[in-house]
Amino acid sequence: MNIIEQDVIDLLKNLVAIDSVNPSLSEGACGEAKIAQYVYDWAVGEGLTAQIVDDGSGRPNVLVRSRRPEKDSARLLLCGHLDTVGIGAMVDPLLPRVDGDRLYGRGAYDMKAGLAAALVACREVDRLGLPVEVVVASVADEEHASRGIRLLLPDLTADAAIVTEPTEMAIGVAHKGFVWVDIEVAGIAAHGSRPELGVDAIVKTGPILVALEELNQALDKQRHNLLGPGTVHASLITGGKEASTIPERCVLTLERRTLPGETVTDIQSEIEQLLEGCRAADPQLKAAAHTGLHRPPMETAPDDPLVRTLGAAHEQVRGRPAAISGISFWADSAFIASRGIPTVLFGPGGEGAHADVEWVSLSDTVDCTHMLIIAARSLLRG
């Protein structure tokens, strides 16, 4: 095992051993402060430039940079998140355990392996003295509201970006966005023994659920070549006060997964048309939609120079072309791409994101590191 391989594995183990559960997901969780300090100290100890960036919330981010030999040299942005979801029912979640090619622990797969690969790649580019700058954005809060990348991006520029989320070593060139919508249905409360005096808001919600399924079937006919169809599903439903009272209010929360080219305005219009159809069938229906959290989709052309560069690096390391794919999950890549930076997702394989058993492939993590170094070297020739 050479020094790069040993260092990335050691760094991964140390990152997994640090509790960085997102406090927005688990009340009382410690957040990113400890792991951010570790990344900062590691980077400075390796001769890199590092900066902790905090908006005052105590949810720090770390920017790590290789040297920039020339003012106009190319810049590659690598991005990985510091936070993890909660530990659930995991056994020894902060004890990195190696079994063959697998390293187990919370965050190993999602996504401390990708972060370790990015940091070591940045160090190696610096040591090689390549006329290209690598910036690693180690960000907070990706698992909830992406406050980290949104804080950093206004001051970041790059010629290309790789988000090192786990992709099973495929080059992810697209992912869906999402829009959360609350549909509030109003009824009239009445005693359960006199239903004729009331309007049951929960029952009135039924046709909306049927219409959502019809919408889903219509969406299934409009497919993206890598991502498949957009989708909609009912996520939450709340209503009523007690068994003997006709419910005066029901709130249905839905999630609409969006394809590249679809905007939040498009989805707002789509849901309003759905409600108009329901109202036409039942003039007594009183329902209003309210848009909540929404995130854009992402798409980079499969023939973009960044995709070709990373694909060539994959072939050099593994002797075969990389798969080009769409990614099922949303990631901070959407925010980066929205600033006009060519962006892809690329990271190691494994299993167990957000699950009670989580592991990442060590060989993938090592190979990913080498490929990021090669991609950075190739960027200056692009």
Helix (H) or strand (E) holding 236: strand 231-239
pLDDT at residue number 332: 97
β-strands 74-81, 249-258: how paired?
unpaired
Contact status, residue 186 vs residue 248, Cβ threshold 8 Å: yes
Contact status, residue 164 vs residue 118, Cβ threshold 8 Å: yes
φ/ψ (deg, to 5) at 186: -100, 135
Q: Where does residue 308 rank: exposed (0-12), middle (13-18), buried (19+ CB within 10 A)?
A: middle
pLDDT at residue number 73: 83
Helix (H) or strand (E) holding 217: helix 201-219
pLDDT at residue number 381: 53
φ/ψ (deg, to 5) at 293: -65, 135
Helix (H) or strand (E) holding 289: strand 286-295
303-350 per-position pLDDT tens digit: 999 999 999 999 999 999 999 999 999 999 999 999 999 999 999 999
pLDDT in single tens digits along all 382 residues of the chain: 698 999 999 999 999 999 999 999 999 999 999 999 999 999 999 999 999 999 999 999 999 999 877 777 899 999 999 999 999 999 999 999 999 999 999 999 999 999 999 999 999 999 999 889 999 999 999 999 999 999 999 999 999 999 999 999 999 999 999 999 999 999 999 999 999 999 999 999 999 999 999 999 999 999 999 999 999 999 999 999 999 999 999 999 999 999 999 999 999 999 999 999 999 999 999 999 999 999 999 999 999 999 999 999 999 999 999 999 999 999 999 999 999 999 999 999 999 999 999 999 999 999 999 999 999 998 765 4
pLDDT at residue number 380: 60
Which long-range contacts (C-beta less than 8 Å, at least 24 apart) are formed by 98-101?
98/362, 99/359, 101/361, 101/362, 101/363
Distance CA 216, CA 68 (A): 50
pLDDT at residue number 121: 98
Selection from 299, 307, 264 nearest residue 175 by Cα: 299
Domains assigned to the chain: 3-175+297-379 (3.40.630.10), 177-295 (3.30.70.360)
3-class SS at 256?
A: strand
Distance CA 94, CA 71 (A): 42
Distance CA 4, CA 127 (A): 12
Selection from 179, 178, 197 nearest residue 188 by Cα: 197
Helix (H) or strand (E) holding 294: strand 286-295
CB within 8 Å of 212: residues ≥ 6 apart: 232, 233, 234, 254, 274
129-142 per-position pLDDT tens digit: 988 999 999 999 99
At 100, which amino acid appears?
A: G
- What share of residues in the chain are helix, strand, coil (percent, to 5)? 35, 30, 35
CB within 8 Å of 216: residues ≥ 6 apart: 231, 232, 233
* Rama region for 23: left / alpha / beta (φ>0; ψ in -120 to 50; rest): alpha
Helix (H) or strand (E) holding 288: strand 286-295
Distance CA 204, CA 202 (A): 5
